[in-house]
Amino acid sequence: MSKAALFAPGRSSRAADTRLGTLRGAVRARHKVAFAYRDHADQPTTRTVQPLGVFYWTDVWSLGAWCELREGFRNFRIDRMQDIDVRADVFEPQPGRTLRDFFRHCEEESRRH
């Protein structure tokens, strides 16, 4: 499962747009991704991330990634991403920044809330 790059637990999804395919390819190839983003408060930001997986949560697709700006794991809603640029630079898995570490982080976060 940790190598699947696409996770859609429990439900079927709406038709995915081209962003989904682009991001899945970046996950598989371990290419960094840069993009413009609008957060939950509609504030703009730009990010460069190491993409780890694409996930479907009931009604929203997200990209789970290591964010270089925040130096931590983040989930980014794909519908809030614009100007996606898959970079040529490849990242190597590093201890503490892997998909397994991401899952562990998510479990810890869910216990806190």
Interval 94-111 mean pLDDT:
94
Query: What pLDDT does 69 receive?
Result: 95
In this prediction the pTM is: 0.83
Residue 57 pLDDT > 90, yes or no? no
Sequence-distant (≥ 6) Cβ neighbours of residue 64 within 8 angstroms:
51, 52, 53, 54, 55, 73, 74, 75, 99, 102, 106
What mean pLDDT comes out for the span 2-27?
69
